[in-house]
Structure formats: C-alpha cells, structure tokens
Structure 1
Amino acid sequence: MEFLKTLDSWVWGPPLLILLVGTGIYLSIRLKLLQIIRLPLAFKYLFSKENNNDNVQGDVSSFAALCTALSATIGTGNIVGVATAISAGGPGALFWMWIAAFFGMATKYGEGLLAVKYRVIDKNGQMSGGPMYYIEKGLGNKWLAKIFALFGIFVAFFGIGIFPQVNAISTATKDTLNMPIELTAIILTILVALVTIGGIKSISKVSELIVPFMAVFYIVGALIILIFNIKEVPGAIAFIIKSAFSPTAAVGGFLGSTVMMAIRNGVARGVFSNESGLGSAPIAAAAAKTKSCVRQGLISMTGTFIDTIIICTMTGLVLVVTGVWNSNLEGSAMTNEAFRIGLPIAGIGQYIVTIGLLFFAFTTILGWNYYGERCTEYLFGVKGIKFYKFIYIGLVAGGPFLKLDVIWTLADIVNGLMAVPNLIGLIGLSGVIIKETKLYLTTVDSKKKLRTVDSIQ
C-alpha cells in the first residue's frame, strides 16, 4: 500500500495536473471558449431527431453513444469520488473539480471530434475509434497508440471499470439492504455477463434506458435536500470557493488540508468522474451514427457538463450544507449519511443514494467493458475480445472482496497513466481540431444567417 501511495503521488504530481488542465486551457483558448458559446447548440444536437438517422455510418445513435459514455462516467465518482475528494482536500476540492470540468469540456469536445474523424470498421463490421486510432492515423505514432490501448485495458480491469464500482455496490447493498457480499457478487456477475456479451448495441440499449432515469432520480433527490436547506446554500458555495484558495482548518473528524491537497484531489477525482482527457469517452463517440465529427464532438462535450457541473455539484453541496463533510465517515457512507440527514423522512435519503449508486456503478461497469473491448481489439484483433470478456467478468466476481483504499489508489494510478498518451495526441492534433471546427461552424453560422434573412423578408 505504501508503494502504491508513493507511485500515486508521483503519477498525479504537478506535471500531470498541468498537462491535464493545461490541455483544456489551450484548447479553450484556440476554440474561443466553444464550451460556453456553443453549449446551447450542443444540447440542441443532443435531442435532435437526426440522431436516429440510419443512412449514415455508425453502430448506434449519437444519443445512445453519449448515454454509453455517460454510463461509464456517471458512476461512483459522482457519489463516492466527490466524498473522497472533499474528505481529503476539504470543500475547496469541489471548486477545483469545477475548474477541471470547465476546461475539460473543451478537451472532451476535441476527443469526440477526433474519434469520429479517424474511426475505422473492424472485421466484425463494428466501428472502432478513440485515441489509439487518432494517435496512430493522425500523429503517425503506432507505439504511443499501443501504449494507450494497453493502459486502457488496465483501467478497465483495475481502474474505473470494475473495482471501485463493484466495491461501492457491495458496500451499499450490505449496509442498506443487509445483503451478503457473496450474494451481491453472484448477482452482479450474472447481470454484467448477460448485457456485455451482446456488445455495443446491447450496452447502449441498457444505457439509454438507465442513464437518463438514474441522473434525474439522483438530481431530484439532491435538489429536495438543497431546497430544504436553501438558506445554507449561498454560505456553502462561499465556503467552497474560500477553501479552494486557503488551507482548511481541522474540524470534527476532518484533519485539515492544504491548497495543494484541494487542487490535487479536486482535479484527480474530477477526471475520475467525467473522464475528460482520459481518452475513454471518444471510444464510445466513435460508434455514433453521424456525418460530422464536429457535431459529435459538441454532443460529447455535454457529458462533462452533466457529470461534473450538475451531478457532482449536487453531491458536494449536500455534503457541505449537512455538515457531514467533516465527519469520520468516508466514501459512500459519507454521502449516505448526508442524504439521511437531509431527507430524514422514513430513511428516504439513504435509499436515494443506494439506488443511485447501484445504477451508476452498474452502468459504469458496462461502459468500461466496451472501452476495454475496443482497446483489446486494437491490440490483438477481434479474436482477443472473447478472452477479454471472460477476464472482465471474472474480475467483476472478485471485486467486492478488495479494500477501499487499495482500490482508489490503484484506480488513480492507471487513470493517470492512460491520460498521458491521449493528451499528447490531443495537443499534437490540435490543428486538425481547430480546422474542422472552423469549417463546420462557418457553414452552420452561414445557414443561420440565411434563415434569419428569410424570416425577415
């Protein structure tokens, strides 16, 4: 464990933090703050009927591709990750999650754009895309692409994909429903096997059903708590911003934190939650039925906004307004307690967290199964997919029996290693991103002006 902590501190040191946020800042400047100016257009595309166009290349609709990406991003990071970040770095960690997410939207846009531009069709007739393809075909660096794919499999196996999610599910069912861990492991393994064997179409169908429901369900629960505590919300926001720039004193069960701890935990947990810069979401984006890489990039960008700016913020505010952030609790137990205090009627609060966590974590397992599958296909061909799925399902069965501190440290390490080759690819191909964006948006703006002129006449 000491070795893992040392390695984690080295991986998530200043160089990676600067590279992650710096890439987002660089793309934001070159794209002229596209994540603000074009956000309404992105949401318009997200709910457009054109998403179901069967006359264009792709495996699933753009909405289904986003739901698959969101199924992987909206997970324990939104419930457990926020609590872990705040318990280690103080309330100020949430502010740095916001900052990382804001610039991460530009990063996620670039990832989605490049994924569609450089995607290919595999021997099974399925779309394959993501950083391994745009690094190889765009940058011309096959070795860096292979390194990304290898780390992608590691993250699927040992990072975001399995262990944190399975552990969160087994802990929640044991604490709230008094279900034995062994029974949870058996049920979860069977469910994952049934869905993932069907591939991207099966995963996307389940994601389209679950993701919108679970997001609304959790957000409404958090909103009710914040409405009940509406007088404390302005003070909580002010406290979060203040804590981001000054050390947080030790109170209650909280040991105190420095500004660097707040930044490190906020950015690391933010990336764990929304995966901007990690290179995972573009693997799902590549499967979308779309004619335009820019259009899919805009749709992909909304994922970070929904995940962090909305859902993580809800969790963080509930933790602060209820005062649970400075307790001796950790992980899902902390969020559970905050919702229990915030909604004490018949224990409704803790069930909201448990149900949300079960859905969030389950769909994340499904999404990451697909990401790892595409990385496996890139390295070993379609023949390797079957072996990959057997290993993945086996690790799901064993995940509930690992310790929480080992799980989160290991996840942080492999997440950071996966991000590096992807960020190198994004910076190297930034010229392509800017060129494609200008061409597309110039056309969009011209059509908009013509419609305006016609309506006036």
Structure 2
Amino acid sequence: MEALNDFLSTLGGFVWGPFLLIPLLLGTGLYMTFRLTGLQVRMLGRALRHGLIDRNDHGGAGDISNYQALTTALAATVGVGNIVGVATAISLGGPGALFWIWVTGVVGMVSKYSEAFLGVRFRTTDAAGEQSGGPQYYLRRGINGPIGKILAFSFAVFAIIASFGIGNLTQANAVAAGIHDTFGVDPWISGVVMFVAVGAVLLGGIQAIGRITAAFVPMMILIYVVGGLVVLALMIDKLPSTMALIFTDAFTGTAAAGGFVGSSLAMAIQYGVARGIFSNESGMGSAAIAAAAAKTSHPVRQGLVSMTQTFIDTIIVVTITGLVVIASGVWDQGSDTAGTMTATAFSTVLPGQYGGTIVSISVVFFAFSTILGWSYYGERCVESLIGRRGSLPYRMIFTIMVFVGATSELELAWTFSDLANGLMALPNLIGILILSGLIVRETRAYLKFDPMLRASATEVQQFLQEQGTDWK
C-alpha cells in the first residue's frame, strides 16, 4: 500500500505539476477571460443579484431552482479544502500561495461560467423525465466524432472515482474526526448517523438535495465567515503586514522559518493553483452537472449564477481562512500541522475553546454538504455510462462508503482523490477550449439582448426563436 501511495503521489505530482494541469487551468481561464472580455468582473454584481436575490428563473425545463442549483454546487464545492486545503497550500508554498489561490479563483470564475453554460446548453432529459447534463454530455454532444466520445467517457469515469474519494471517503473521515476531537464521539457512531442521514437524503434525489442545501449551505457559510471576520477584526493591526507578506512571497518564494522548510516561486504557484482548484473546483466540470438541473430560461443566465460559486468559495471563504492562518503566525509550524493549523489559528485569537469549536463545526458542515453534492455528481456520471438502472446501486454503494470513510485511515484515499480531480479536469478543459467559439458567440448575443438579466421567459423565448437556437 505504501508503494502504491508513493506511485499515485508521483503521478499526481506530474498531473498537477507545472507542465500539464497548472498551465492548462490558468491558460484556459485567461483565454476565456480575454475572449469574453472580463465577464467575471463586469457581470459579477448582476450574477450575484440574479442567483441570490431573484433566485428563480422561470420558463425553462429543470428540476430545481437556479438558487438550489447554486447551493447544491456550493455544497459540493465548499468543503474541507476551504479549511485544511488552504492551510496545506500555505504550509508548503508559503504565504504567497494564497495570492496564487486568488489568481486561480479569478480566472476560474470564467471557467466555471463556461462549463455551466455548456452543461445547460447540451443537457438532455433522462428516462425518469429529469434533466441530465455536464461534461459527460456536452463533450459528446458538442464535439463531433470519436474525440468527443473519448473525452466524455474519460470525464465520467474519473468523476465517479473522484465522487468516492474527494466527495465521500475523505469528507466522511473529516466529519468523524472533527466530531471526535470536539465532542469525544466515537467515529463509528458518527459513521452510522451519517450513513442514515445521507441515505435518507439520497432517496429523494436531486429535489431533496436541492431543498436541503438551499437551507443548509447559507447557514454553514455564514457561521464560518462571521467567526473568521471576528478573528480578523481582533488582529486588524496585523493585516497590512500580512497582505505585504502575501504579495511579496507570491513572486519571490519564502525563506525557511520555524517549522517551515522554505519554498520557491514555483512551489508557491504549484501549491496555490492545485489547492485553489481543489477548493473551488473551477475547470473540473463538476458544477456543470448541478447547473444542468436548474430551471432557467437560457444557458447564459445559469452560467452566470454558477460563476458566483467560485467567488463565494475562493474570494470570500478561502480568503478568510488564509488571512487568519497567516496573520495569526501559525503558518510556519510545518506541513505536518496543516490538518489542525486553521483551528490553532482561530484558537490563538478567540478565548477558551471557541476558536477550535467554530472550525470543527464548520469542518463537519462543509464536509457533510460536500458528500451530498458529490453523490449527485457521481450518480449522473454513472447514468451517462450505463443508464438510469445504475442510479440505485450507486446510491447504495455511496452510502455504505460514507461509513467506511468515517471509520478508516485514508492516506491512500487522499492521494487518489488529488489524482482523480486532476484527471477529471483534463478532458473538461480540453472541451471548453474546443467549444470556446460557441460559448463566446452565444454569450455575446444573449448579453447584447438582455444585459441586465431582466428579460421575461416569454421575451427570452422570442429571442431564441429569432436566433434559431433550440437549446432545450
């Protein structure tokens, strides 16, 4: 097992290294940013309003509201990576890694828009009358010939594997460990409770997942964000020097200090980008699966809503974690402490056990919500390969693996998860580049017609008829 773990770690290092996924991720994001003329900046305010205030976009086929699609994707996106992953990046790449996480987030917003747009644009209705979409569909339906089929098949296989790794085993383990450390509850008890809870939700399908996440996700993010802002307010005098350290080290690397062994510029970029994408999942294609289930009158509108996931995840939640870890001074304790680094940072500022408790409860909430979101992603990929008949067996196996994850040691699962995440992103990013012309053309046409996202469903339908586009 140790040899297998070393092999997978080496392979993962290549996939996430400076010669494959990192330039492809950043390059795709920068390319789409240029072609869409900074869409993620100029449309952010309207996208947030449409997703968080308007919430519903009537007139299109779909199974859940665009707000529920947003929270379902956020449930899968905002996870352990927002707490442990950020600390890991900083402990290995130095404070400058946070800058590269921000870069990944900004360019990732347009990647998230692109994949969500395609998810809705090429979605289809399955045997149960529900909407199915995502890279496993748009790569095959949008790209003619064997290339599209190979890319779609590859994505589906890697996504199913990832759903059991990043989306299940590692998250369940984080929940059980967090509850044990905070409340002393035995992991097998947590495993049983999660087994029952996850199974009950999955029986209801995407509608149940959408309802749960719509109520659950805003609360969990608010608890963590408020706690983090309180900690930062208490350290406000340290924030100027913290920001200076982040921007300086982002381009120079970081010298050894304390338990920190030092890092080069390349390490800061590598760990920043890798953990950034691990956290916000932009470019991986997973969020497009949730976007495809949304009731929306046009793919552009849901693409913009989905884009806000990366903003909320990276620019808000991840930033709070990173600033707390760096400003508190615990970032240089060494990578061996990354798992508890954020909790330690909170505890050094807040009195008593409040800091550790906030982080532990947040880990539990974040991880459990990730399990729900990824269960849907994996199920839709199984369905794309073998049909609807695979849904029930997948749900049963997925639920059982929640208990396994809660009660097992998972070093190999973490290594395998990193690799599967990277392998998922490869076919999806290639597909975005191939389909970029379609994305740009239809985005420009729609935003010229409805720049404020205020058009009614009837007006949108008339626009589609005039354009001769029947995306449904």
TM value normalised by structure 1: 0.95
2:99 is the alignment partner of 1:92: no
Q: Judge which range, 321-330 or 139-148, deviates more.
A: 321-330
Equivalents in 2 of 1:320, 1:251: separation in Å?
13
Equivalents in 1 of 2:54, 2:232: separation in Å?
34
2:18 is the alignment partner of 1:11: no
2:127 is the alignment partner of 1:120: no
Q: 2:222 aligns with which of 213, 216, 222?
A: 216
SS in 1 for 2:331: helix
Rate the CA distance shift 1:287–1:249 in 2: closer, same or farther, 3 A.
Answer: same
Equivalents in 2 of 1:327, 1:129: separation in Å?
44
Structure 2 residue aligned with 1:151: 158
Structure 2 residue aligned with 1:407: 413
Amino acid at match of 2:361: I
SS in 2 for 1:137: helix
Question: How much does 1:149 deviate?
Answer: 0.6
Equivalents in 1 of 2:61, 2:238: separation in Å?
50
Deviation track 1:364-391 (CA, whole Å, cap 9, x = no partner) reads: 0000000000000000100011111111
Residue 188 of structure 1 contacts residue 397 of structure 1 at CA under 8 Å; is this kept in 2? yes
Q: 1:139 aligns with which of 133, 138, 143?
A: 143
Residue 168 of structure 1 contacts residue 332 of structure 1 at CA under 8 Å; is this kept in 2? no
Deviation track 1:199-238 (CA, whole Å, cap 9, x = no partner) reads: 1011111100111111111000000010000010111111
Q: 1:33 aligns with which of 24, 30, 38?
A: 38
Structure 2 residue aligned with 1:451: none
Equivalents in 1 of 2:127, 2:195: separation in Å?
28
Residue 57 of structure 2 contacts residue 296 of structure 2 at CA under 8 Å; is this kept in 1? no
Residue 172 of structure 1 contacts residue 332 of structure 1 at CA under 8 Å; is this kept in 2? no
Residue 109 of structure 2 contacts residue 282 of structure 2 at CA under 8 Å; is this kept in 1? yes
Question: How much does 1:402 deviate?
Answer: 4.1
Amino acid at match of 2:203: I
Identity of aligned residues (%): 49
Deviation track 1:271-317 (CA, whole Å, cap 9, x = no partner) reads: 11110000000000000000110011110100000000110000000
Amino acid at match of 2:194: L
2:179 is the alignment partner of 1:173: yes
Question: How much does 1:333 deviate?
Answer: 1.2
Question: How much does 1:52 deviate?
Answer: 5.8
Equivalents in 1 of 2:271, 2:381: separation in Å?
28
> Which structure 2 residues correspond to residues 370-381 of structure 1 after superposition, within 5 A?
370-381=376-387
Structure 1 residue aligned with 2:296: 290
> Which structure 2 residues correspond to residues 416-455 of structure 1 after superposition, within 5 A?
416-445=422-451
Amino acid at match of 2:152: A
Structure 1 residue aligned with 2:310: 304
Deviation track 1:70-110 (CA, whole Å, cap 9, x = no partner) reads: 00000101011101111111111111100011000010011
Q: Judge which range, 403-412 or 347-356, deviates more.
A: 403-412
Structure 1 residue aligned with 2:52: 47
Deviation track 1:417-449 (CA, whole Å, cap 9, x = no partner) reads: 00011011100100111011111111124999x
Question: How much does 1:255 deviate?
Answer: 1.6
Structure 2 residue aligned with 1:163: 169
Rate the CA distance shift 1:236–1:220 in 2: closer, same or farther, 3 A.
Answer: same
Q: Judge which range, 193-202 or 166-175, deviates more.
A: 166-175
Equivalents in 2 of 1:115, 1:193: separation in Å?
27
Equivalents in 2 of 1:432, 1:342: separation in Å?
50
Q: Judge which range, 394-403 or 78-87, deviates more.
A: 394-403
Point out 4+ residue stretches in structure 1 off by more than 6 angstroms: none
Equivalents in 2 of 1:120, 1:447: separation in Å?
24
Equivalents in 1 of 2:262, 2:177: separation in Å?
27
Equivalents in 1 of 2:394, 2:452: separation in Å?
48
Residue 50 of structure 2 contacts residue 453 of structure 2 at CA under 8 Å; is this kept in 1? no
Q: 2:113 aligns with which of 109, 112, 122?
A: 109
2:70 is the alignment partner of 1:66: yes
Q: 1:393 aligns with which of 385, 393, 399?
A: 399
Equivalents in 1 of 2:337, 2:37: separation in Å?
40
Residue ranges of structure 1 left out of the alignment (5+ in a row): 449-457
TM value normalised by structure 2: 0.92
Question: RMSD value over aligned CA atoms?
Answer: 1.5
Residue 55 of structure 2 contacts residue 67 of structure 2 at CA under 8 Å; is this kept in 1? no
Give the number of equivalent residue pairs. Answer: 445
2:349 is the alignment partner of 1:342: yes
Amino acid at match of 1:153: I
Residue ranges of structure 2 left out of the alignment (5+ in a row): 455-472
Rate the CA distance shift 1:379–1:88 in 2: closer, same or farther, 3 A.
Answer: same
2:371 is the alignment partner of 1:365: yes
Rate the CA distance shift 1:434–1:52 in 2: closer, same or farther, 3 A.
Answer: closer
Rate the CA distance shift 1:402–1:413 in 2: closer, same or farther, 3 A.
Answer: farther
Structure 2 residue aligned with 1:188: 194
Q: Judge which range, 88-97 or 42-51, deviates more.
A: 42-51
Equivalents in 2 of 1:246, 1:41: separation in Å?
37
